[in-house]
Amino acid sequence: MELRNVTTFLKVAESGSFTKAAEQLGYVQSTVTVQIQQLEKEIGFPLFDRIGKKVSLTPMGQEFIVYANQLERIAAESKQIGKNPKNYSGHLRIGVLESLFVWLIEDLLIEYHNEFPNVSVETKTASGSDLFNLLRQNQLDLIYLLDKKITEKDCVRTFAWPVKIVFVTSPEHPITKMKKIAFQDVLQYPLILTEKNGIYRKALEDFASERNTLITPYWEIDNTGTIVKLIKHGLGIAFLPEYTVNESVEGHELVALEVEDCSIEFWSQLFYNKNKWITPPMDGFIKMIESCYQT
């Protein structure tokens, strides 16, 4: 079995297109077609359904891709024998939610570069739905996002960690003097929230709607960093992931409010396409994320 045919098979499976696979591999499309035909003849079953321009794995193709990924991984690992991780080369494309990038990934990328200096890294910030689309189109290798626990049939969740979403304000805000704070108490003050389609903004609005309450923010801002700066100046109360304000709370620049009747939690999650084999650069990043939360 020719390894190059297996590689071509994986590229077609990832991209869902013979044409795109040919472009990525630097082949003409006829070469990709011949290599897939050779592989199908060798295995004895069709690996792809070809309906119009759409290409999808057959049941046998779905079964074979497990072995194809193993073959590709073993071939790649054999090339790394005797190599220090610092000598690994390649390209890593990471998609991430904006707040996760600013507060977690920025510093992690420096650590990653020190560990894998020969791996080039490309990052993209977008919404969760957009990141999943890019992952399915093989335009990203990994996506790191914040949401409720997600299960996608064509993606593998390799990591998940709970994240509290908290109300936060400046230490001088009047609400910090209250011994007990209820959800309705928070709503009596100006709120500075993320844009309307933001996931934690929506979660807050859904929570309020269940209690027949309408959320009317004082300001709507699509940048978490700007919101943090504004509430440090005493301009209102924000509702943000705990990791975005931990440092400011520990430094007594902000106060996280204990709201007795409101508890909302999401999960930071790392995904890759199930049809993609985990390259050494991907594996290194996954392990780095895991160790970041374990310390």
Which class is domain 3-79? mainly alpha
Tell me the pLDDT band of 80, cut-offs 50, 70 and 90.
Answer: low
- The tokens of 147 are what? 């949401």
> pLDDT-derived band of residue 279, with 50, 70 and 90 as boundaries?
confident
Domain ranges of the chain: 3-79, 85-160+267-294, 163-264
**0.95 surpassed by pTM:** no
- pLDDT the model gives residue 71: 84
Q: Give the pLDDT confidence score for residue 103 in this predicted structure.
A: 75
Using alpha carbons only, what angle is made at residue 267 by residues 264 and 273, rounded to the nearest 5 degrees? Answer: 150
In the CATH scheme, what architecture does the domain 163-264 have?
3-Layer(aba) Sandwich (3.40)
- Determine the longest span between alpha carbons in the chain, in angstroms: 75
Report the pLDDT value the prediction gives residue 167, as an integer from 0 to 100: 96
Lowest mean pLDDT among 173-177, 184-188, 194-198, 216-220: 194-198
pLDDT, average across residues 5-31: 89
- Least confident piece of the model among 23-27, 53-57, 211-215, 268-272: 53-57
* pLDDT: which is higher, 36 or 197: 36
Q: What is the pLDDT of residue 186?
A: 92
Instruction: Quote the pLDDT of residue 78.
Output: 73
Q: What is the pLDDT of residue 224?
A: 86
- On the question of a common fold for 3-79 and 163-264, the answer reads no
Q: How confident is the model at residue 89 (pLDDT cuts 50, 70, 90)?
A: confident
Give residue 30's pLDDT band: very low, low, confident or very high (50, 70, 90).
Answer: very high
DSSP result, the chain: --HHHHHHHHHHHHHT-HHHHHHHHT--HHHHHHHHHHHHHHHTS--EEEETTEEEE-HHHHHHHHHHHHHHHHHHHHHTTT--GGG--EEEEEEE-HHHIIIIIHHHHHHHHHH-TTEEEEEEE--HHHHHHHHHTTS-SEEEEEES----TTEEEEEEEEEEEEEEE-TTSGGGG-SSB-HHHHTTS-EEE--TT-HHHHHHHHHHHTTT-----SEE-S-HHHHHHHHHTT--EEEEEHHHHHHHHHTTSSEEE-BTT--EEEEEEEEEETTS---HHHHHHHHHHHHHHH-
- Residues of the chain with pLDDT > 90, as a percent, come to 37
**At residue 209, does pLDDT exceed 70?**
yes
Residue 294 has pLDDT above 70, yes or no: no
CATH topology classification for 85-160+267-294:
D-Maltodextrin-Binding Protein; domain 2 (3.40.190)
| Confidence at residue 69, expressed as pLDDT on a 0 to 100 scale | 81
Q: Is the pLDDT of residue 215 over 80?
A: yes
How do residues 97-152 score in pLDDT, each as one tens digit? Answer: 887 887 778 888 888 898 888 888 998 988 888 898 888 877 888 999 988 888 88
Average pLDDT over residues 266-276: 88
